[in-house]
Amino acid sequence: MWKSFAVVMLLACAQTALGQGFSKMRSQPAARPAAANAPDSPAYRTSRFQPVAGTRFLYATVGLGEASSKFSVSSSKPGGYPVNYVFFDTTTDTATSLLPHNDALILDVDSYSGATIPADRTETPGHLIELASTVNHPPASVKEAVRWHIVCYVPADSDGDGEVTTRDRQVLAVADAGGHGFKEVLTPLGEVFAQEMLDADTLLVIHGSQARQVSVRIDLPHRKILSATPLPNFGTRSIGDR
């Protein structure tokens, strides 16, 4: 009799424990996918769209946290740089991104109309994109619509430290007013000492280091280098040179 009672009590305890186990399993919330919390899956934000001066296009920056509304170096990524730009065509209601991914670091974007500078004027026709107030009615100071975007960016981690930073290889690329035709032209890009439009289609870039600078002429419509001329050494040297 006592043996039978002991068996019954043992079965009852086992059923109670098993039931509590299933209850605990059912009450646990579903785990989030690991990728959702991984540091390599950041939450990007798009800024407000702004007009590209004198054109039918709008643009917005893409970055981490508070995305900037400024078409230049922004505060949308730690270190102050966006990871991409989005362009919107107001005539077709279509949007396109400058880069196919958000893994790069865009250091600077200069916009040019391609207009030549009159002999009695000294200001450069660059940096027009921040001057527009409406898409169809740019301010009087903008004589020509933007044609080119000159993009200085870091495409990938080149020094092997696992991060994309300003220490990695920099590249100069060209895109048209709507962000189309993006192509790398000058790589690697050194320190920029000059960047000027010579005529409607030709950009002059002097870049390199303190020890060695090169004058480069770029055909913007065809996205190619026309010439690269080393400058003489002026007795300067880069930090670290002996």
**Regarding beta strands 50-51 and 57-64, do their DSSP bridges make them parallel or antiparallel, or are they unpaired?**
antiparallel
Cα torsion 36, 69, 78, 148: sign: positive
Q: What pLDDT does 235 receive? A: 83
Beta carbons within 8 Å of 217's beta carbon, 6+ residues apart: 198, 202, 203, 204, 225, 226, 227, 228
Q: What pLDDT does 114 receive? A: 74
| pTM greater than 0.85 | no
For the chain, what are the domain ranges?
A: 43-188
The residues of the chain scoring below 70 in pLDDT are 1-42, 65-80, 115-143, 238-242
State the Cα–Cα distance between residues 218 and 149, nearest whole angstrom.
13
Span 149-168, pLDDT tens digits? 999 999 999 999 988 889 99
State the Cα–Cα distance between residues 221 and 176, nearest whole angstrom.
9
